Structure 1
């Protein structure tokens, strides 16, 4: 893993560099925020360790600049006891964590290891995404072929398909095959924000533009400049938001909220939705002119139930992936479980398949996956006239709740906030249940 150490105290930098390098990490140094930014633009780093208090560009400003360059670079702030509050506030702005000067270096090494695990998971996700695009299905192959050809131009692309088919994977694929691949890929889930918040997220805002705007914020349009902007669930945007997006596409300029200054932007736009936009246009909930602007090329991804020839390959891949993730070796899958995995239609598509297999691997006993923990299997038993085994009611409730939350998360595209809203509980309550039930 590549680390950039930023501190204007040279002696401290030298000592810390040696300590971290002894653990097998590659470490570069910078003596100022300005030098750090120059190095980050030239070289690839997974983690930046930055002093909080520095002349010129301090740790907070450096954090903001780094996240504008790449959201995948993690930042750990190094601070003295007197500035812990500032460091905590920085974590709310995107810092991974903070380290107090004077604490044992092992505490910092533990934090670095956590970042390393996150980087490895991202790499695993990238490999997973590549594999998901392997297919023996003619319809899916045609969609990939269109995506690859479309990537060679800057034309706007609309990806259609049911929830969980891999629209985000296709968007990433297009970006990686385009001439913008060295720039940012910025993804926004439109249904995760209210109209007001979505506008702020996309356009950014100036300090004092509205209540709570305590500092300037660069929006997603600017972050995607020269790169790719992926607007997922575009079918859930309001007519008002569609008008503003259309204006940006026509003029290639934006204004941050609270500013009259025009800012030029140049990005490739990819949109996706699981809705039938032709029906939405007829209902008057989606603008026809906006539709034609974003859909120069349309890519339709078939659902998993239509990819029968790919099922076994995908099941084996997710099984192997989960064995590595959970450090469990699966030696045997009973016939009922095999039959279910191969014949189930997966209304939640790839996302649901992966979640079911994760559940089965986690609950497997002695390396064996059995039909005991298949979705709805135990729940359906409680409605039969004859109950083979009377079990505690709390156990049945737990199973039903776990299955139900899992399905809601699939429908909400893994958006915990949206799922909590629909379940009418707090986000914290839902997160606790997810951890408790080991749903994810």
Structure 2
């Protein structure tokens, strides 16, 4: 009988076990190796960090209570250095508050000792199915993000690591830095890539409308609700929901969003039953949310729920090596769109672009190039035309969220002027209770006493 063709050997999944109980380590190692896993061990959190380079695990299983560095401290360091690496915590001292805290911070799973062996194996399989730190090649997911900047590449490397997991992602960055573009790239690199990607700017619509847009509504729930509306959470079911400018979300909606994230169920406005949803959340803001939490404008529990892995996009002024690349890319794209025969920028024009301050970041650069394409009369764009476009863009068109914030501040100042700083009367005119009105004033740094003079 002829032998069958040789098959390629599949590498065993690599696990790192961390526990100061050496007897338990030996027992777990034997059991997991018998189930086809390659196992490395460490007897302390410090030892686990030293073992990472050689072990290259796809999953870390650690005890919670250990001498020196405990399991949560180890997890936090691993999250910083290896954000896509799932961590499973085992403990004989487990409690519901500890489990809630651990999972809120992004721990994959939390099992109490003594644990059921089958349950542990199930959790391991579930964690490994997310892909660990394996990530796709750049061409497969972030080809639309053009960069030569080490700072930007570091962000993309971290984003690529976390994309393969289910961890919530929080993107920080000034307006125009490309937060939605990065969010879409993370979605494209994730196991949810075949599902929908749904984006919403939470600062661009009033609270009542935003609640209906996010969670849906039933026919007749309010005036004008002539038919059922699905809502963005259900539209994004099986995919990713991108919440842009989440830092401007009204307090009432923050409570409802937190409930949905905790329970993974939504209740449409006017509805009586919850509907399960399976959605990954990527949130973004230009605001300092730590300061907003301290000021009471943003819920701390919601902040930690969203901020599992944080990515910060550098402003264009900190990635100037990308300006010529982006400008030429935009020029080629826009010239093709408008049917213009343009070959590029003159060297002096590229130098001017590279030295400009760019307060509006990549979005402003795109707008300047679009103006140049519309006005160019020669194939090679001259420096004079670039300078003219920059001068006209010195005060770039604000985004809808920025315009809404400016209007809101002006409106509050007018109310306080009319009422001579009487908060109760100003809140009545605004149709808000005093607590909410004080939050609005705090958000915009307005002191009613200044208007009493």
TM range (shorter): 0.5 to 0.7
CA contact (8 A) 1:157 1:270 kept: yes
The answer to whether the 8 Å contact 2:330/2:369 transfers is yes
Mapped contact 1:207–1:216 kept (Cα < 8 A): yes
Selected match of 2:163 from 148, 151, 168: 151
Q: Counterpart in 1 of 2:53?
A: none
Query: Structure 1 residues 303 and 228 mapped into 2: Cα distance closer, same or farther (>3 Å)?
Result: same
1:75-126 deviation per Cα after TM superposition (whole angstroms, max 9, x unaligned): xxxxxxxxxxxxxxxxxxxxxxxxxxxxxxxxxxxxxxxxxxxxxxxxxxxx
- Distance in 2 (alpha carbons) for counterparts of 1:176 and 1:253: 24
1:290 counterpart residue number: 302
Query: Residue 134 of structure 1 is aligned with which of 143, 146, 171?
Result: 146
1:408 aligns with 2:406: no
The reply to whether residue 321 of structure 1 matches residue 321 of structure 2 is no
Displacement of 1:173 in angstroms is 0.8
Q: Is the CA contact 1:132–1:314 (under 8 Å) kept in the aligned structure 2?
A: no
**Separation in 2, partners of 1:252, 1:162:** 30
The count of residues paired between Structure 1 and Structure 2 equals: 271
What's the counterpart of residue 213 of structure 1? Answer: 225
| Native 8 Å contact 1:184 1:224 kept in 2 | yes
8 Å Cα contact 2:221/2:270 also seen in 1: yes
Does the residue aligned with 1:205 lie in a helix, a strand or coil? coil
**Larger of the two Rg values belongs to structure:** 2
RMSD: 2.7
SS in 2 for 1:408: coil
Where 2:293 maps in the other structure, the secondary structure is helix
Tell me the TM-score normalized by structure 1.
0.57
Unaligned ranges ≥5, structure 1: 1-126, 380-398, 425-440
- Output the CA distance in 2 between the equivalents of 1:216 and 1:131: 39
1:342 aligns with 2:331: no
Structure 1 residue aligned with 2:322: 310
In 1, the alpha carbon distance for the partners of 2:163 and 2:340 equals: 39
Residues 99-248 of structure 1 mapped to structure 2, 5 A cutoff: 130-248=142-260
State the SS of the aligned residue for 2:195. Answer: coil
* Match in the other structure for 2:366: 354
Distance in structure 1 (CA, Å) of the matches to 2:203 and 2:348: 38
Q: C-alpha deviations, 1:257-279, integer Å up to 9, x for none? A: 11111101110000000111111
Contact 2:204 2:400 in 1 (8 A): no
Structure 2 distance, partners of 1:251, 1:335, is 56
**Contact persistence 1:191–1:233 (CA under 8 A):** yes
Q: Distance in 1 between matches of 2:284 and 2:390?
A: 36
Cα 1:223–1:163 shift into 2, 3 Å:
same
What CA distance in whole angstroms lies between the structure 2 residues aligned with 1:420 and 1:373?
31
Change (3 A) 1:330 1:214: same
